[in-house]
């Protein structure tokens, strides 16, 4: 059996794990980051894309608000290319608690959050589709953050500092020796091969799956309540500023312009299993009804896709009881020190947290590791920019259009909706070495636009085959797997324009290409491609 | 636009129509421009696709959208109701805010101004416009292609004729919206329209001081002056509409501007005066066919033993009224009409005048020109003046408005006309 050695093993390739790998690698540790699937496909890849200013928490949770204020400023500095500086609007409605606006302003001042109240007319000029019945409007430095760009930038930064990233490697056991974790056994999910990692220290950054990991070291009593949230991606940017309802956090009160779409979110429902989070039509309906209050006519706008994610809301039996409403569980994070809690050394678990504070979470847990290891290496993530952020400029939505404009005459356009050209596609296929079109999707946004792959994914499949990585049968299987995955996000919102699109796509794939009867599918295809459910970290 | 908030509801709705796009590509297969040049990436690309990447606070990066000729065929053929041409026209206006407006565009977008300047000095102006050297200079300095057709100033205006003309009382009363073309360049065409309408039992008002409708400004991205122009014209036409008098126009793109485009593209839908005028505006062939359908049109036309081709211009098709000119010409005995089925002549108003676009315009029109050449007609017929000038220049076949055919058939054009 293959054997790897590392100083630090990071389990979980979401935003937290990538942040930890980047932080630890920058401090000079030899890091291995593992994930049971691709990077950022669990909770991280399934949120709305909001980089909080802190406004959402100023009234309810001032500690969380302060963290957001500080981290928002730092992330804008170190990963600007992952961030679009949209700004945020908080708007109040007549039927909200009339005192909330003033409490919000006071909370902003307490948390040190820069806020400005603007006249309603000005807010409506900024965002013409916002409900004209709003009573007050406040501007805060919310922003949109592209989680896949963020996670890949951090992971590539870690690799540039000597780290290794193993995707599609699932932890199937933790090794312990003398009351300390000494490594893990992994299984390659694509080949089925197993390997051992000897690690001086292990950081469990697997979020909603953290309890399953620590159980492998015999640790009990840690529970993670999967707080399910659904989000609906609307076909275009209905707003260009993050829109928040200025009230106590509730369902469907945020609309985030993220790249070419706008995402409305979210709900918070206790789920039984982090791997079983189907979206129901009732949830979709509720979300649209709430969205309609923010933006009248939202129901008539085209919904592109719906997805759900699970918040890792921790409960520690040794620390206290169980709350019922998952929204009442604090959004701040905490490092669980298993040496103190369970007498097991060289293992830390990150509990709670949110994307906006991913850098701080990483800093805190790597600090705690350094303390346990008795070494003093200062954190540098607040100063150093990871790859592709060096120029210090914010992301521009039109940048793809600008790049495309330069290549209009000499490059084939493959994904028309998200403007992915052939060269970039082939480069990514080669660089990633993946056979999974869904991995390519997350990296390039291939097939994420209005037609949901209807017009590009058969082209991309042919190219993937042509690039030489896949047999015909594997390519067909990859195509089918992609279509199945896309379909899951589309069927709960099949009405209006997206229904028409789905019918056309269906006609292309079933009627024209007869994809269900492609020759030889399934033979030699990696099992991971045919799994029914997505495989989060 | 709601004045108090600047709330551009209509603009948002138009932009929102991009949601209906299912990528079917029908618009691209019909686009006359993207079919002849790779410089224009096509209506689906620049319309519903690129629009998702355009953000107000960012600069427009896609200058290629300027190769759109604005013919509007994409919007007409879209089975899903995406307002592709309109989205693109608005994007162009935003692009131009960044790039600025060329002197050339400022000139050719104001036929009213050029007409006003050129008319008093018509002989000299015409000599300049149709001589090689000045045209070459205009080509190099301004970017107006030296080969492009430009009309000659008549040296007298239709308005001047109309002021002296007294239309006899008749049971039906209409107002004539003549447009810049008839006023400055083709006053005889305007006169023929009035004569025909009178022959058909109409008393014809010619509202004074009719200026440009703003369409060339709009299609060149100059929305602010376009709004001023169309509002000014609207004020002149509004009294007729207020009295319930229908307004007929021979310039089919300009009547479309009043009916629909100024409201939709310039966002003037809540201008009450414009709405009132819109409700009373007709393309002249549409109006005459409506009379015919009611049994109220004189049809005792004289035989006209001619062969003519008929091209329905894109803007005429934008009315959504079919091809009434064909139905009207069918009333003329012995007239043989060959319908052209090519989509666009290429000129698209001012597009084909531009040096960088002239050859594209000629390529777009190649199919139509070939059809006309093959038919060897006595006359070519087309409802739009800029298209007529372009077709005439390209084919050498005299090209007239359908009204001129009816005028002849009514026996109003003496021999030699």
**pLDDT > 70? residue A327:** no
Contact with chain A for residue B64, Cβ under 8 A: yes
Q: How far apart are CA B191 and CA A485, in angstroms?
A: 68
How near does any CA of chain B get to the CA of A477, in Å?
25
Mutation for A interface: B1, B11, B23, most A CBs within 10 A: B23
- What residue ranges do the domains of chain A occupy? 2-43+148-223+317-373, 82-143+225-313, 399-530
Q: Which of A118, A178, A113, A117 is nearest to A141 (CA)?
A: A113
How near does any CA of chain B get to the CA of A125, in Å?
6
Q: Which domains does chain B have, with CATH numbers?
A: 9-99 (1.10.1060.10), 299-409 (3.40.50)
Look at residue A331 in the predicted model and tell me its pLDDT: 61
Q: Look up tokens 């789905």; give the residue.
A: A502
The HSE-up count of residue B172 (CA atoms within 13 Å, CB side) is: 17
Chain A residues in contact with B48 by the CB 8 A cut-off are 450
pLDDT digits (tens, 9 = 90+) for A365-381: 999 999 999 999 999 99
pLDDT digits (tens, 9 = 90+) for A258-313: 999 999 988 888 888 888 888 988 999 999 999 999 999 898 899 999 999 988 88
Q: Report, as an integer, the average pLDDT of B339-346.
A: 94
Q: Look up tokens 């009230």; give the residue.
A: A247
- Could you tell me what percent of chain A has a pLDDT over 90? 75
Q: Report, as an integer, the average pLDDT of B324-347.
A: 96
pLDDT digits (tens, 9 = 90+) for B361-382: 999 999 999 999 999 999 999 9
State both tokens at A432.
Answer: 């990633």
A110 preceded by cis ω (within 30°)?
no
Look at residue B414 in the predicted model and tell me its pLDDT: 67
- Using pLDDT thresholds of 50, 70 and 90, give the confidence band for residue B1: very low
- Asked if residues A454 and B23 have their Cβ atoms less than 8 Å apart, the reply is yes
Q: Which of A128, A404, A416 sits opposite B12 (nearest CB)?
A: A128
For residues B293, B299, B304, B305, the Cα torsion angle rounded to the nearest 10 degrees is 70
The alpha carbon of residue A54 and the mean position of all alpha carbons in its chain are separated, in whole angstroms, by 19
Burial (CB < 10 A; 0-12, 13-18, 19+), residue B172, is middle
Residues found in chain B: 417
- The CA distances from residue A258 to A336, A493, B47, in Å, are 33, 19, 20
Q: Report, as an integer, the average pLDDT of A70-98.
A: 95
Cβ of B49 within 8 Å of Cβ of A301? The answer is: no
Tell me the range of A504-508, A529-533, B280-284 where mean pLDDT is highest. B280-284
Radius of gyration for chain A, computed over Cα atoms and rounded to the nearest angstrom:
23
Q: How far apart are CA A258 and CA B292, in angstroms?
A: 56
Q: Confirm whether A2-43+148-223+317-373 and A82-143+225-313 share one CATH topology.
A: no
Q: Report, as an integer, the average pLDDT of B5-16.
A: 58
pLDDT digits (tens, 9 = 90+) for A148-161: 999 999 999 999 99
Look at residue A319 in the predicted model and tell me its pLDDT: 66
Cβ of B55 within 8 Å of Cβ of A397? The answer is: yes
- Phi-psi category of B143—alpha, beta or left, where left has phi over 0 and alpha has psi -120 to 50? left
Cβ of A237 within 8 Å of Cβ of B52? The answer is: yes
Nearest residue of chain A to residue B5 (CA atoms): A121
| Sign, Cα dihedral of B83, B84, B85, B91 | positive
pLDDT digits (tens, 9 = 90+) for A476-525: 888 999 998 888 899 999 999 999 999 999 999 999 999 988 876 654 44
- Asked if residues A501 and A451 have their Cβ atoms less than 8 Å apart, the reply is yes
Radius of gyration for chain B, computed over Cα atoms and rounded to the nearest angstrom:
21
| Neighbouring residues of A136: CB distance < 8 A, sequence distance ≥ 6 | A91, A92, A101, A117, A120, A246
- Using pLDDT thresholds of 50, 70 and 90, give the confidence band for residue A50: very high
State both tokens at A263.
Answer: 């995402």
- Asked if residues A186 and A179 have their Cβ atoms less than 8 Å apart, the reply is no
More confident: B410 or B343 = B410
Q: Report, as an integer, the average pLDDT of B191-195.
A: 97
Look at residue A521 in the predicted model and tell me its pLDDT: 61
- Using N-to-C axis directions, what is the helix angle for B223-242 and B272-280, rounded to 10°? 60
How near does any CA of chain A get to the CA of B268, in Å?
16
Look at residue A320 in the predicted model and tell me its pLDDT: 57
Contact with chain A for residue B22, Cβ under 8 A: yes
Average pLDDT, chain A: 91
- Asked if residues B194 and B162 have their Cβ atoms less than 8 Å apart, the reply is yes
- Asked if residues B332 and B409 have their Cβ atoms less than 8 Å apart, the reply is yes
Nearest residue of chain A to residue B80 (CA atoms): A497
- Asked if residues B37 and B360 have their Cβ atoms less than 8 Å apart, the reply is yes
Nearest residue of chain B to residue A240 (CA atoms): B55
Chain A residues in contact with B20 by the CB 8 A cut-off are 302, 497, 500
Residue B353 is given by DSSP the state: G
Q: Report, as an integer, the average pLDDT of A51-55.
A: 97
Nearest residue of chain A to residue B82 (CA atoms): A497
**pLDDT > 50? residue A242:** yes
**pLDDT > 90? residue B258:** yes
Q: Which of B20, B48, B54 sits opposite A398 (nearest CB)?
A: B54
Look at residue B296 in the predicted model and tell me its pLDDT: 96
Chain B residues in contact with A303 by the CB 8 A cut-off are none
**pLDDT > 60? residue B8:** no
**Superfamily per CATH, domain A82-143+225-313:** D-Amino Acid Oxidase, subunit A, domain 2 (3.30.9.10)
Contact with chain A for residue B23, Cβ under 8 A: yes
Q: Report, as an integer, the average pLDDT of A182-197.
A: 96
Q: How far apart are CA B50 and CA B53, in angstroms?
A: 5
Give me the CATH topology for the region A2-43+148-223+317-373: FAD/NAD(P)-binding domain (3.50.50)
| End-to-end C-alpha distance for chain A, whole angstroms | 24
Residue A279 is given by DSSP the state: P
The HSE-up count of residue A221 (CA atoms within 13 Å, CB side) is: 11
């Amino acid at each position: 059996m293959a054997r790897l050695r590392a100083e630090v093993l990071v389990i979980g390739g979401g935003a937290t794990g990538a942040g930890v790998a980047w932080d630890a690698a920058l401090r000079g540790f030899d890091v291995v980051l593992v994930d049971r699937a691709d990077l950022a496909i669990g909770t991280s890849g399934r949120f709305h894309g909001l980089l909080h200013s802190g406004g959402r928490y100023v009234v309810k949770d001032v500690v969380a608000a302060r963290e957001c204020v500080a981290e928002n400023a730092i992330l804008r500095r170190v990963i600007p290319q992952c961030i679009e500086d949209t700004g945020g609007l908080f708007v109040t409605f007549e039927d909200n608690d009339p005192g909330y606006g003033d409490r919000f302003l006071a909370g902003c001042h307490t948390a040190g959050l820069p806020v400005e109240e603007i006249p309603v007319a000005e807010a409506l000029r900024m965002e013409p589709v916002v409900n004209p019945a709003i009573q007050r409007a406040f501007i805060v430095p919310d922003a949109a953050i592209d989680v896949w760009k963020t996670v890949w930038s951090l992971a590539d930064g870690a690799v540039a500092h000597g780290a290794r990233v193993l995707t599609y490697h699932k932890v199937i056991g933790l090794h312990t020796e003398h009351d300390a974790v000494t490594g893990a056994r992994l299984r390659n999910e694509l080949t089925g091969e197993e390997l051992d990692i000897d690690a001086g220290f292990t950081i469990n950054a697997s979020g909603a799956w953290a309890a399953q990991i620590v159980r492998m070291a015999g640790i009990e009593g840690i529970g993670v309540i999967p707080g399910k949230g659904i989000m609906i991606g609307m076909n275009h940017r209905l707003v260009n500023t993050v829109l928040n309802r200025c009230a106590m956090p509730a369902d469907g009160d945020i609309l985030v312009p993220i790249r070419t779409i706008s995402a409305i979110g979210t709900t918070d429902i206790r789920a039984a299993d982090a791997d079983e989070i189907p979206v129901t039509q009732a949830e979709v309906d509720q979300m649209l009804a709430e969205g309609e209050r923010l933006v009248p006519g939202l129901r008539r706008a085209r919904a592109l896709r719906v997805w759900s994610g699970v918040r890792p809301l921790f409960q520690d039996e040794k620390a206290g009881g169980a709350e019922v409403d998952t929204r009442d569980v604090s959004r701040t994070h905490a490092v669980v020190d298993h040496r103190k809690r369970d007498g097991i050394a060289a293992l830390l678990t990150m509990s709670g947290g949110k994307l906006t504070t991913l850098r701080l979470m990483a800093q805190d847990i790597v600090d705690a590791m350094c303390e346990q290891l008795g070494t003093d290496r200062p954190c540098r993530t607040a100063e150093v920019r990871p790859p592709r952020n060096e120029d210090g400029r914010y992301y521009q939505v039109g940048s793809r259009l600008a790049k495309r404009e330069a290549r209009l005459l000499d490059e084939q356009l493959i994904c028309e909706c998200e403007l992915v050209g052939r060269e970039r596609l082939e480069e990514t296929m080669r660089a990633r070495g993946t056979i999974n079109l869904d991995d390519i999707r997350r990296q390039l946004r291939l097939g994420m636009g209005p037609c949901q792959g209807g017009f590009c994914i058969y082209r991309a499949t042919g190219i993937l085959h042509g690039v030489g990585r896949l047999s015909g049968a594997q390519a067909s299987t990859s195509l089918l797997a992609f279509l199945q995955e896309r379909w899951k996000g589309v069927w709960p919102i099949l009405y209006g324009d997206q229904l028409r699109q789905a019918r056309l796509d269906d006609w292309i794939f079933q009627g024209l290409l007869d994809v269900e009867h492609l020759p030889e599918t399934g033979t030699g295809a990696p099992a991971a491609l045919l799994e029914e459910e997505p495989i989060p970290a | 636009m709601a004045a108090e908030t600047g709330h551009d509801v209509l603009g948002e709705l138009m932009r929102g129509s991009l949601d209906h796009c299912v990528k079917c590509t029908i618009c691209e297969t019909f686009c006359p421009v993207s079919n002849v040049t790779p410089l224009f990436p096509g209506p689906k690309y620049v319309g519903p696709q690129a629009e998702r990447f355009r953000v107000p606070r960012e600069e427009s990066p896609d200058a290629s959208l300027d190769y759109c000729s604005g013919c509007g065929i994409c919007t007409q053929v879209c089975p899903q109701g995406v307002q592709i041409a309109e989205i693109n026209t608005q994007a162009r206006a935003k692009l131009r805010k960044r790039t600025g407006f060329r002197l050339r565009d400022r000139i050719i977008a104001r036929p009213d101004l050029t007409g006003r300047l050129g008319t008093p000095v018509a002989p000299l102006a015409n000599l300049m416009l149709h001589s090689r050297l000045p045209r070459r200079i205009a080509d190099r300095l301004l970017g107006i292609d030296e080969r492009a057709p430009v009309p000659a100033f008549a040296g007298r205006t239709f308005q001047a004729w109309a002021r002296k003309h007294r239309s006899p009382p008749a049971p039906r009363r209409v107002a004539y919206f003549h447009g810049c073309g008839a006023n400055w360049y083709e006053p005889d065409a305007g006169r023929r329209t009035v004569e025909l309408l009178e022959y058909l039992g109409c008393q014809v008002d010619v509202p004074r001081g009719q200026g440009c409708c703003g369409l060339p400004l709009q299609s060149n991205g100059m929305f602010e002056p376009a709004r001023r122009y169309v509002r000014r014209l609207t004020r002149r036409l509004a009294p007729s509409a207020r009295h319930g008098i229908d307004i007929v126009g021979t310039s089919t793109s300009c009547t479309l501007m009043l009916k629909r485009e100024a409201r939709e593209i310039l966002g003037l839908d809540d201008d009450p005066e414009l709405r009132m005028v819109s409700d009373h505006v007709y393309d002249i062939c549409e109006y005459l066919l409506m009379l015919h359908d009611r049994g109220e049109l004189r049809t005792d036309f004289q035989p006209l033993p001619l062969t003519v081709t008929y091209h329905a211009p894109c803007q005429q098709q934008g009315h959504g009224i079919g091809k009434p000119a064909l139905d009207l010409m069918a009333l003329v005995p012995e007239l043989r009409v060959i319908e052209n089925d090519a989509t666009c002549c290429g000129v698209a108003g001012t597009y084909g005048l531009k040096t960088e676009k002239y050859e594209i315009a000629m390529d777009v029109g190649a199919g139509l020109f070939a059809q006309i050449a093959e038919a060897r007609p006595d006359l070519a017929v087309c409802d739009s003046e800029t298209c007529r000038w372009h077709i005439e220049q390209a084919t050498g076949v005299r090209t007239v408005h359908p009204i001129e055919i009816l005028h002849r058939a009514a026996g109003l054009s003496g021999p030699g006309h």
